[in-house]
Amino acid sequence: MEVIPIKEESDIVRARVAAKDMAQKMGFGLVDQTRISTAVSELARNVFVYAREGQVHLEVLNNPHNGIRITFIDQGPGIPDIDLAMKDGWSSSGSMGKGLPGAKRLMNRLEVKSEAGKGTTVIIEKWLS
Amino acid sequence: MLQSSAIPILKIGDFLLVSIQYDIHDKIAELLQQDILKRISETQAKGVLVDISALETVDSFIARSLADTAAMASILDAELIIVGMSPTVATTLTELGLTMAGVRAAVNLDEGYDLLKASLGQRVVDRRNR
Ligand SMILES: Nc1ncnc2c1ncn2[C@@H]1O[C@H](COP(=O)(O)OP(=O)(O)OP(=O)(O)O)[C@@H](O)[C@H]1O
Ligand SMILES: [Mg+2]
């Protein structure tokens, strides 16, 4: 497992490049590599913008699917209403509200766990088979 | 504090040429926007070509930053064209939910340059017929 700390803007780039490299090595095609790196960029930015700092974990999945799993962990303010946060166009920061719903469309799985005041964990997966 | 994006902005006649050669982070994208707008007003450029063919990942932040720069450039009477977006990046942006509507695009620099020249010619004609 590879861990990338998110503390500053350039870490968002580091996370998306690392995810793309790993996806490429695992045999994902170019379009899937790009989907993965784009989703990682969106979710790593959410960590940076809303929680100031956190971590990105990259790991290989074997069972029941072969693929990549990326987990974003922060101890920020949390998301009070996850269903609302998943809505296309909804944003608490006056942004476009595309990150979470967009990342969900780009991946095979996206799960958000969050507790107000404690932090947020977002898990995404892309499957090879 | 960084003052400039350090990405070169070249002038050719009435146009500016910006080539983003490496994956840029958000702060650099903001500075680049500022640099481009400043150069437009300094040089009175009528068009800007922004080559993004080297960008492997374009997420919502960069896409919005490019679209905003294009909108602000047009207020300064300059047309901005995005050059060289890969089909893979375009597909991914659509799935992400971004349309980039209102931003003109060209496949390569030659085509972008021709588009700018054509629309500059058209603007001259429009002005004469006013
Ligand atoms: N890690 C997080 N911690 C706390 N709140 C979050 C986190 N990630 C997302 N959110 C909340 O969920 C909302 C939706 O997130 P999403 O990424 O979809 O949109 P956005 O960040 O507002 O806009 P965009 O990503 O398009 O710039 C955010 O506005 C924010 O309120
Ligand atoms: Mg976001």
Residue from A39, A119, A6 nearest B58 by CA: A39
| CATH classification number, B9-119, choose in 3.30.565.10, 3.40.50.620, 3.30.750.24, 3.30.70.3270 | 3.30.750.24
Give me the residue spans of the domains in chain B: 9-119
Question: Is some CB atom of chain A closer than 8 A to the CB atom of B23?
Answer: yes
Task: Name the pTM for this structure.
Answer: 0.96
pLDDT tens-digit series, residues B65-97: 999 999 999 999 999 999 999 999 999 999 999
> Does A84 sit in the ligand 1 pocket, CB within 6 Å?
no
Q: Where are the domains of chain A?
A: 2-127
The answer to whether residue B97 neighbours chain A at the CB level (below 8 Å) is yes
A-chain residues near B96 (CB < 8 A): 38, 42, 98, 102-103, 105-106
Model confidence pLDDT, tens digit, residues A85-115: 999 999 999 999 999 999 999 999 999 999 9
Residue A11 C-alpha, separation from nearest chain B C-alpha, in angstroms: 9
pLDDT given for residue B1 in this prediction: 60
In angstroms, the CA B21 to CA B10 distance is: 14
CA-CA distances (angstroms) from residue A17 to A21, A26, A42, B33?
Answer: 6, 14, 13, 23
pLDDT at residue number B106: 98
**CATH topology for the A2-127 domain:** Heat Shock Protein 90 (3.30.565)
Residue nearest to atom 25 of ligand 1 (CA): A99
Q: What is the pLDDT of residues A8-20, one digit of tens each?
A: 999 999 999 999 9
Beta strands in A27-85 (DSSP E): 54-61, 67-74
Does this complex have an ipTM over 0.90?
Answer: yes
Average pLDDT over residues B33-58: 97
**How many Å is the Cα radius of gyration of chain A?**
14
Give the integer Cα–Cα distance in Å for A44 and B25.
Answer: 12
